[in-house]
Amino acid sequence: MNQNLKITIIGAGSSYTPELIEGLIKRNHELPIGELWLVDIKDGAEKVRIIGELTRRMLAKNGMSHISVHVSLDRKPALKDADFVCSQFRAGCLEGRIRDERIALKYGMIGQETNGLGGFANACRTIPIALEICREMEELCPDAWLLNFTNPSGMVTEAILKHTKVKAVGLCNVPVIMQKGIAEILGADEQDFVLQVAGLNHFIWARQVLHNGQDKLQNVVDAMLSGNDPLVPQNIPKFEWPSELLRNMGMIPCAYLRYYYTSEDIMEQEQQEASGEGTRGEVVKAMERRLFDIYQNPELSEKPKELEKRGGQYYSEAACELMSSIYNDKRSIMHVNTRNNGTIQGLPDDCTVEVSSMITKSGPVPLSVAPFPSDTLRLIQVLKEFESLTVEAAVTGNRNVAHRALILNPLVTTGSILEKALEETIQANLDYMPQFR
Amino acid sequence: MNQNLKITIIGAGSSYTPELIEGLIKRNHELPIGELWLVDIKDGAEKVRIIGELTRRMLAKNGMSHISVHVSLDRKPALKDADFVCSQFRAGCLEGRIRDERIALKYGMIGQETNGLGGFANACRTIPIALEICREMEELCPDAWLLNFTNPSGMVTEAILKHTKVKAVGLCNVPVIMQKGIAEILGADEQDFVLQVAGLNHFIWARQVLHNGQDKLQNVVDAMLSGNDPLVPQNIPKFEWPSELLRNMGMIPCAYLRYYYTSEDIMEQEQQEASGEGTRGEVVKAMERRLFDIYQNPELSEKPKELEKRGGQYYSEAACELMSSIYNDKRSIMHVNTRNNGTIQGLPDDCTVEVSSMITKSGPVPLSVAPFPSDTLRLIQVLKEFESLTVEAAVTGNRNVAHRALILNPLVTTGSILEKALEETIQANLDYMPQFR
Amino acid sequence: MNQNLKITIIGAGSSYTPELIEGLIKRNHELPIGELWLVDIKDGAEKVRIIGELTRRMLAKNGMSHISVHVSLDRKPALKDADFVCSQFRAGCLEGRIRDERIALKYGMIGQETNGLGGFANACRTIPIALEICREMEELCPDAWLLNFTNPSGMVTEAILKHTKVKAVGLCNVPVIMQKGIAEILGADEQDFVLQVAGLNHFIWARQVLHNGQDKLQNVVDAMLSGNDPLVPQNIPKFEWPSELLRNMGMIPCAYLRYYYTSEDIMEQEQQEASGEGTRGEVVKAMERRLFDIYQNPELSEKPKELEKRGGQYYSEAACELMSSIYNDKRSIMHVNTRNNGTIQGLPDDCTVEVSSMITKSGPVPLSVAPFPSDTLRLIQVLKEFESLTVEAAVTGNRNVAHRALILNPLVTTGSILEKALEETIQANLDYMPQFR
Amino acid sequence: MNQNLKITIIGAGSSYTPELIEGLIKRNHELPIGELWLVDIKDGAEKVRIIGELTRRMLAKNGMSHISVHVSLDRKPALKDADFVCSQFRAGCLEGRIRDERIALKYGMIGQETNGLGGFANACRTIPIALEICREMEELCPDAWLLNFTNPSGMVTEAILKHTKVKAVGLCNVPVIMQKGIAEILGADEQDFVLQVAGLNHFIWARQVLHNGQDKLQNVVDAMLSGNDPLVPQNIPKFEWPSELLRNMGMIPCAYLRYYYTSEDIMEQEQQEASGEGTRGEVVKAMERRLFDIYQNPELSEKPKELEKRGGQYYSEAACELMSSIYNDKRSIMHVNTRNNGTIQGLPDDCTVEVSSMITKSGPVPLSVAPFPSDTLRLIQVLKEFESLTVEAAVTGNRNVAHRALILNPLVTTGSILEKALEETIQANLDYMPQFR
């Protein structure tokens, strides 16, 4: 890698991008960037233009105007010889996400962008585009690292690792929030303890919290149960864990596991929200509109406070730290989506898992994961089977495979209702899911 | 084994018993019975008395009055030196079953006696009694074979095989009905083909239908899809299988798998029934009352036609054939619940599975099962984990284990609703579940 | 299958053939044969002619001259529309076997036709021919069953099942001898007990001896240890089992397992024999010469007594019983080489194992095998890996794969000596191993 | 842990100890030692006295006389409140090692202290003592870390982790030598690349050599094959690897794997040495005598050059780096023996493996190991089974288990010769193996 890194952001018209820019500015001393390419599709032209302007102002304010900023609707020049590619696009935009939520709720199921019926729909829209980008990367920047934030991050990463040669790492802010929340509970620096997580994207458990020669996991659980649970991202509802369950688990479930352990409560809240302030997608859409109003302000030259409510906090931190760890062979421990390859026993070698890994210049080397308790393992295996079949359905457009995938998902209701919901999902998304035609 | 077999029936006050008696009469030439002991508890005293009288009339009519018939409310003399013990009791009687159904429905879940929340409750009521009986058998008739029909048959058999030394075989009429339905479709005798099933009780798939040198499985599927599905027992609702799913499965799911593949449709029908003619338990209760009216008729000396609607058809056939196969070392292929011991890959050795087995004088020797497709395997593994945790909860009375069991069950809703439903289940059954006190 | 079965014997010039003919004559009532094709290669022309004459005399003596006997050096007409094909050829004839023995002994290793370096050489000579025959069968008699006796039977069967569509079953007399020896010990008919064996060809253990409602395995062990061991074939040396080992094993090892459990003793005996009466191959060669002198006698019209010393006793019984079981859907329990497919846990699904199976018109359905003790499982896994790599080497001619295979075999010495022995083996057999050129 | 660390060395009379002292002196800035306890048994009183004097001179020369040095023949005060315990004793002294070598060679087997028959004997002598020490540690210093160098290090560590609560880590210089040899080949610093090894003690393979963003494993192999193989410890014979084997392996076998891949060559060399300069044990014994002559010199106050020929080079480095990594939570990657716990797929969770691990204040966290090629896995599984059965035999004194262990070892010959060799081993060591009485 050269000293003038070329970093390309796909889906740069996202409201998150200023956070990423801020992170790159902070790490300027260890990540010597030469070019920054902001790419989006035509529908995002206005948004990416606004982001581009804001980026230039932010760089200027920090005396980094030597970095050239390119805004482009054409992916190819942006990918050519890139060192790092950050993928954060949303196939079908927020409209797609909202449609997923509404269809699921209509059929009495949880509507969410990474799991259940909504996660399935999102994967089927997204994976064909992700693979197209990767095929371009194989040709234009075969040595580049792809950092995938595009949701559903685990399934998208699995599709890429199974079907292309791109060096991809999937990222998520959920384990970053866990790391920060645990630091708060322990009253320690994030670097002072080793948090080991394992599972699938949005489906992980903390397995160890090694601090000062001891495993402090149970102390963290106690703190969480005594009303202080800072491990929950802003974009998912706050709920109490069933206390006996949590106390006896010997692991810390990530906040998204509430979808599985307390699904009926989530369902009720979603239905309330949907008939009140709107679904999460609808709320985010309104928030985005407000954020872009702020971004347009020519006086603004830093990330605005309002972005923090957006939900994706620390995405940037994960991305910048990963780029730096690879570039500098830092061997720090990060929580990433990567090929299983024997890390979690009881899952196929070629599937993708989310596990704490040592990050080297050659990419992630996962830490070994102690065998899961058998009931938790069964849950993980079922979810992974759902994910792998969904990837297969997204690639092949085979409806039978799609149906088999959905039957396995605990958030999906089976029967004639599912047949209808699946067909409606496909028809409503047909422009983005040509594979099902 | 001697030539004067002593056969003991626990829960003989069941309305099914006349079918069993009929079966024993038919097999008189190969199963030389000396004594027949009909056992029940005080609450069933009147019913078992009626059954006893009917039994004597049936034997007399067939010139078999040399068989001594004993009606007893005391298990010990009945078990002493027994050769075969048939267990068909229902812990908490039909009232318990109905309560299970109503509690589940109240919380928006499927209410059924062998799966979901109802299956859990039934297991927790039944297993302590089953283990008590087995401890008596260890002492009074250590060489006897126990034929367990008591539901939930798979979990009860697992509890017995894990916690006692009794030689137990679990039986169910579901695979018998499949065998007969397939015979009808093929236009063949039941002995003319080898049906191999595998899975868990009420959760099996036919894996092979070997007939005349070919595997006719897909022919059977075609017939089932063309409107002729004789594989459904009378006591579960008729539904269409999603045709694409069934056609591509490469296996034949048993009728009870509708609870998993089409759970919403079952749910709707159960709710309709519950607010109409009553739950299945309520329907059965009314049917039982009518049956006992008929049984009391001193002119009746054979199994009445009305029994066939009761739902348990062919139970008797399974029981009598199993006793004869063991007694005569017949090596016939039967479908039984037995210790896994390597038969189904991916399940623990010590759990109980329902598999086609060669029946010898030493008991069942299972046929080897080809690996399941991975999505089906995941379902089986999750269900078995639910079952094994339920057995553990039933034995220990540990609420946390109970909760972990139920979370895994696809027919159970998670969240605060589950905590309430579990607590109500325990409180409503406290007389039968002292382990949870 | 028609009523005029066509049976084809490949390698019919073998001295064993009269035994097979005798078996077919005995089973005439259940196996209605129309044509018998005796096939061999040019080098065996004289021998197969002699066998053909003897066959005709044997049939005539039994009033079965309606069966047409064809002697042919051309495989194709012989295979055309065959119902059963018995493969018993020896690639490279006895000269090949003797060469294997002598090369192995020269390098200080055990020299034997089915294991160690000799087994490897034999597999590499034989498998290409076996696959050629199977490709002809795919075309000329796709519905025929192939009964493979050709050694090394396990590896040859694995090659066929992995690389062709032929319905092949591998047979061996070792388990037949165990069955008969155990019958002798128990004083019982062979049909009176269920013997279950499992493992690989020439590498099996009896796991159960179910007789009269009990497992008599330990009784058989006691009898073997008290000096009466009728389980040893005539063609392998008699040795005492280390008694403590055998007594505590909980299984009965087949006689060939002496090669692994007492290899040094076997080695010594082989070296003595090699410098005395000759290697086993040399002894057999002399015996064959004498047998063919007898077979030529125009007065001879039955299997001569002398054949019994030859070592392959009961081969015929296995073959004829298998053909009859398939033809008549007898569902008898036989011990055959077939696709593992989940039968023995810890081995790949697609490898071939030797296991007790129920024989139907659709072929073998293996009995489920209880998990092996872990030390025995490790031995089986290593041997199977040797076998599978040997099959791969035999098919591809890859020397590196050959070397990796041999390194795993406990009867093979590693180091520069092995590199020399492997090269000498290949060079000495180059006419039969063109794949290594 | 306090700032005045107490370090206890068991078997301090070893000639290696000066190297360890040198290492502690070098790391003085990061490992603040207060007390150093040198412990040995009566037979080693003179040697440990000499080492104690030398230690004091070495500390004095480096201005570290504030560290108190205690020489003790009583373990208890030495263990009381220790922070780190280094175990490097040799049960039965070099005489025991020599006896092992000579008995093995007498029966035609490789004689070596960590594998084959000699490794078995060594384990059976050593494990009872190691467990005794650990029981004292459980009481006197329950929080201390045990660094085990005592051979056979893998089996001794497994015995400790299975049978005691001591926090033990097994160490070996073999992977350290690999790390240094690879650094030499790459022309890189040891910290500049990540070497990942996996397997069992003296039975490991390098799986990755991550350097500068690439896996340089094949480059290292090429260098090794072109005549430059710096990965071989001084105490095992130099041999050429079979080049085709090494080139196609995709892994780098450790030097000790020559015992398995080229056993006959090793055997020949051992026999030559045994009838020439003596066995390795005899050579070492003479060397030790010379070293102690040097150590006695009151002028000597540093590790003498001659120690380097002794064979255990870098032991000290491994020990000191491990203590420092734990004490300082350094998270460096080291290659240690620890509980498998899912790290290597296909081995039991509770066995001990040698794997590259991140060292934290809470001990080692292994890196995940990619699945091994199946032939290599089979070798590892067989060796581990040998080791685990040996541990069981060492703990229980069960001869049948001992025999079953040895049968599995590829370096052991089976048959009556083995029964004799085992009995002679037990009788010759009876003072050290009371469990076999």
Would you give the DSSP letter of residue C3? Answer: S
Please list the pLDDT of chain B residue by residue as tens digits (437 residues): 567 999 999 999 999 999 999 999 999 999 999 999 999 999 999 999 999 999 999 999 999 999 999 999 999 999 999 999 999 999 999 999 999 999 999 999 998 999 999 999 999 999 999 999 999 999 999 999 999 999 999 999 999 999 999 999 999 999 999 999 999 999 999 999 999 999 999 999 999 999 999 999 999 999 999 877 887 776 666 778 999 999 999 999 999 999 999 999 999 999 999 999 999 999 999 999 999 999 999 999 998 888 877 766 788 889 999 999 999 999 999 999 999 999 999 999 999 999 999 999 999 999 999 999 999 999 999 999 999 999 999 999 999 999 999 999 999 999 999 999 999 999 999 999 999 99
Q: pLDDT category, A207, cuts 50, 70, 90?
A: very high
| Centroid of chain to Cα D132 | 19
Q: What pLDDT score does B308 carry?
A: 76
Whether C27 maps to a domain, the answer reads yes
Instruction: Report the distance separating Cα B398 and Cα B89, nearest Å.
Output: 25
With touching defined as 3 or more inter-chain CB pairs under 8 Å, the answer for chains A and D is yes
Q: pLDDT, tens digit, for every residue of C391-413?
A: 999 999 999 999 999 999 999 99
Instruction: Report the distance separating Cα B260 and Cα D431, nearest Å.
Output: 65
Q: Is the pLDDT of residue D313 over 80?
A: no
How far D367 CA lies from chain A's nearest CA (Å)? 4
Contact A366 D371 (CB under 8 A): no
3-state helix, strand, coil in chain D (%, to 5): 50, 15, 35
Check C16, C107, C256, C432 and give the catalytic one: C256
How far A266 CA lies from chain B's nearest CA (Å)? 8
If you measure CA to CA, which chain C residue comes closest to B346?
Answer: C345
Whether C68 maps to a domain, the answer reads yes
Q: What pLDDT score does A1 carry?
A: 58
Contacts of residue D378 in chain C, CB cutoff 8 Å?
378, 381-382, 385, 408
Binding residues of A: 97, 151, 172, 202
Tell me what the pLDDT averaged over chain A comes to. Answer: 95
Whether D382 maps to a domain, the answer reads yes
Whether D264 maps to a domain, the answer reads no
CATH number of the domain within which A273 lies: 3.90.1820.10
A413 vs A18, A97, A103, B266, B422, CA distance in Å?
Answer: 39, 20, 13, 11, 21
Check D16, D256, D259, D314 and give the catalytic one: D256
B368, B376, B377, B380: best mutation site toward chain C, by most C Cβ within 10 Å? B368
How far C245 CA lies from chain D's nearest CA (Å)? 6
A368, A374, A377, A380: best mutation site toward chain D, by most D Cβ within 10 Å? A368
- What's at A413, amino acid-wise? T
Q: pLDDT category, A2, cuts 50, 70, 90?
A: low
Contact A410 B415 (CB under 8 A): no
Which residues fall within 8 angstroms of residue B94, CB to CB, at 6 or more apart?
B281, B284, B285, B288
Specify the pTM: 0.96
Would you give the DSSP letter of residue A160? Answer: H
Instruction: Report the distance separating Cα B84 and Cα B81, nearest Å.
Output: 9
CA dihedral C297, C299, C304, C305 (to 10 degrees): -110
Parent domain of A236: 1-437
Instruction: Report the distance separating Cα B162 and Cα B130, nearest Å.
Output: 12
Contact C414 D262 (CB under 8 A): yes
Which three-class secondary structure state does DSSP give residue A287? helix
Binding residues of C for substrate: 97, 151
Report, as residue numbers or ranges, the catalytic residues of A: 256
Q: pLDDT category, A317, cuts 50, 70, 90?
A: confident
Number of domains making up chain A: 1
If you measure CA to CA, which chain A residue comes closest to D348?
Answer: A371
User: Dihedral sign, CA of D47, D53, D56, D61?
Assistant: negative
Whether B347 maps to a domain, the answer reads no
- Are C48 and C90 in contact by the 8 Å Cβ rule? The answer is no
Instruction: Report the distance separating Cα C74 and Cα B19, nearest Å.
Output: 64
Q: Which residue has the higher pLDDT, B76 or D312?
A: B76
Contacts of residue B367 in chain C, CB cutoff 8 Å?
358, 365-368
Sole residue written with tokens 């899952």: A347
Q: How much of chain D exceeds pLDDT 90, in percent? A: 91
**Least confident among A350-364, A374-388, B128-142, C293-307:** C293-307
Concatenated DSSP letters for B333-382?
A: EEEEEEE-TTSSTTS-TTSEEEEEEEEETTEEEEBP-PPPPHHHHHHHHH
Contacts of residue D261 in chain C, CB cutoff 8 Å?
407, 414-415
Chain D positions contacting chain A at CB under 8 Å are 1, 194, 196, 208, 210, 212-215, 329, 331, 333, 341-343, 345, 349, 355, 358, 360-362, 365-371
Q: Which helix (H) or strand (E) holds B422?
A: helix B416-428
Q: What pLDDT score does D323 carry?
A: 97
Q: What pLDDT score does A51 carry?
A: 97
Mark which of C126, C143, C170 sits at the end of a domain.
C170
Binding residues of A for substrate: 97, 151
What is the CB neighbour count within 10 angstroms for residue C139? 11
Whether B36 maps to a domain, the answer reads yes
Contact C382 D382 (CB under 8 A): yes
What is the CB neighbour count within 10 angstroms for residue B337? 26
Contacts of residue A416 in chain B, CB cutoff 8 Å?
242, 262, 264-265
If you measure CA to CA, which chain B residue comes closest to C325?
Answer: B213
3-state helix, strand, coil in chain B (%, to 5): 50, 15, 35
Q: pLDDT category, A405, cuts 50, 70, 90?
A: very high
Q: What pLDDT score does B66 carry?
A: 95
Helices (H), C341-398: 374-396
Q: Is the pLDDT of residue D187 over 90?
A: yes
Q: Tell me: cis bond preceding A152? Omega within 30 of 0 counts.
A: yes
Angle between helices C153-163 and C116-140 (to 10 degrees): 40
Q: Is the pLDDT of residue C315 over 90?
A: no
Name D353's bridge partners. Answer: D338
| Centroid of chain to Cα B157 | 10
Q: What pLDDT score does C39 carry?
A: 98
Q: What pLDDT score does D94 carry?
A: 92
Minimal CA–CA distance to C334: which of C229, C191, C235, C125? Answer: C191
Active site residue D314: no
Q: Is the pLDDT of residue D3 over 90?
A: no
How far D56 CA lies from chain C's nearest CA (Å)? 48
Whether D111 maps to a domain, the answer reads no
Instruction: Report the distance separating Cα A333 and Cα A6, nearest Å.
Output: 24
How far D294 CA lies from chain C's nearest CA (Å)? 40
Minimal CA–CA distance to A111: which of A428, A432, A335? Answer: A428
**Least confident among A309-318, B200-209, C58-67, D363-372:** A309-318
Contacting chains of D (3 CB pairs or more, <8 Å) are A, C
With touching defined as 3 or more inter-chain CB pairs under 8 Å, the answer for chains B and D is no
Name the residue facing C210 among B362, B369, B371 (closest C-beta): B362
Instruction: Report the distance separating Cα D19 and Cα D10, nearest Å.
Output: 15
Minimal CA–CA distance to A23: which of A200, A149, A109? Answer: A149
Pairing of the two strands A203-211 and B5-10:
unpaired
Pairing of the two strands B68-72 and B84-87:
unpaired
Q: pLDDT, tens digit, for every residue of A97-123?
A: 999 999 999 999 998 999 999 999 999
Q: Is the pLDDT of residue D219 over 90?
A: yes
What is the CB neighbour count within 10 angstroms for residue C383? 23
Q: pLDDT category, C234, cuts 50, 70, 90?
A: low
Q: pLDDT, tens digit, for every residue of D322-356?
A: 999 999 999 999 999 999 999 999 999 999 999 99
Instruction: Report the distance separating Cα D252 and Cα D178, nearest Å.
Output: 9
Token representation of residue D44: 């080693």
**Least confident among D137-141, D305-309, D320-324:** D305-309
Contact C194 B341 (CB under 8 A): no
Instruction: Report the distance separating Cα C31 and Cα C18, nearest Å.
Output: 17
Q: pLDDT, tens digit, for every residue of A130-146?
A: 999 999 999 999 999 99
Q: pLDDT category, D314, cuts 50, 70, 90?
A: confident
Q: Which helix (H) or strand (E) holds D363?
A: strand D363-366
Name D361's bridge partners. Answer: none
Contacting chains of B (3 CB pairs or more, <8 Å) are A, C
CA dihedral B151, B154, B160, B166 (to 10 degrees): 100
- What's at D320, amino acid-wise? C
Name the residue facing C381 among D263, D265, D381 (closest C-beta): D381
Backbone angles phi, psi at C329, to 5 degrees: 50, 50
Name the residue facing A362 among D213, D329, D365 (closest C-beta): D213
Contact B368 C370 (CB under 8 A): no
Backbone angles phi, psi at C367, to 5 degrees: -75, 145
Q: What pLDDT score does B227 carry?
A: 77
Label residues C204-241 b or e (16+ Cβ within 10 Å = b): bbbbbbbbebebbbeebbebbeeeebebbbebbbebeb
B326, B328, B362, B369: best mutation site toward chain C, by most C Cβ within 10 Å? B362
Contacts of residue A375 in chain B, CB cutoff 8 Å?
385, 389, 404-405, 407-408
- Are A395 and A87 in contact by the 8 Å Cβ rule? The answer is no
Name the residue facing B342 among C212, C214, C345 (closest C-beta): C345
- Are C274 and C105 in contact by the 8 Å Cβ rule? The answer is yes
- Are C116 and C110 in contact by the 8 Å Cβ rule? The answer is yes
Which residues fall within 8 angstroms of residue A407, CB to CB, at 6 or more apart?
A414, A418, B245, B260, B261, B375
Contacts of residue D368 in chain A, CB cutoff 8 Å?
341-343, 355, 365-369
- Are D115 and D259 in contact by the 8 Å Cβ rule? The answer is yes
User: Dihedral sign, CA of B154, B157, B158, B159?
Assistant: positive
Would you give the DSSP letter of residue B203? Answer: E
Q: Number of Cβ pairs closer than 8 Å across B and C?
A: 86
Instruction: Report the distance separating Cα C10 and Cα C116, nearest Å.
Output: 26
- What's at B395, amino acid-wise? V
Chain B positions contacting chain C at CB under 8 Å are 1, 194, 196, 208, 210, 212-215, 326, 329, 331, 333, 341-343, 345, 349, 355, 358, 360-362, 365-371
**Number of helices and strands in chain C (H, E):** 16, 13
Q: Which helix (H) or strand (E) holds B427?
A: helix B416-428
Would you give the DSSP letter of residue A110? Answer: -
Whether C62 maps to a domain, the answer reads yes
Q: Is the pLDDT of residue A82 over 70?
A: yes
> Which runs of E-coded beta strand occur in B244-300?
252-253
Q: Is the pLDDT of residue D93 over 70?
A: yes
Which three-class secondary structure state does DSSP give residue A357? strand
Q: What pLDDT score does D226 carry?
A: 87
CATH number of the domain within which B69 lies: 3.40.50.720
Q: pLDDT category, A3, cuts 50, 70, 90?
A: confident
- What's at D84, amino acid-wise? F
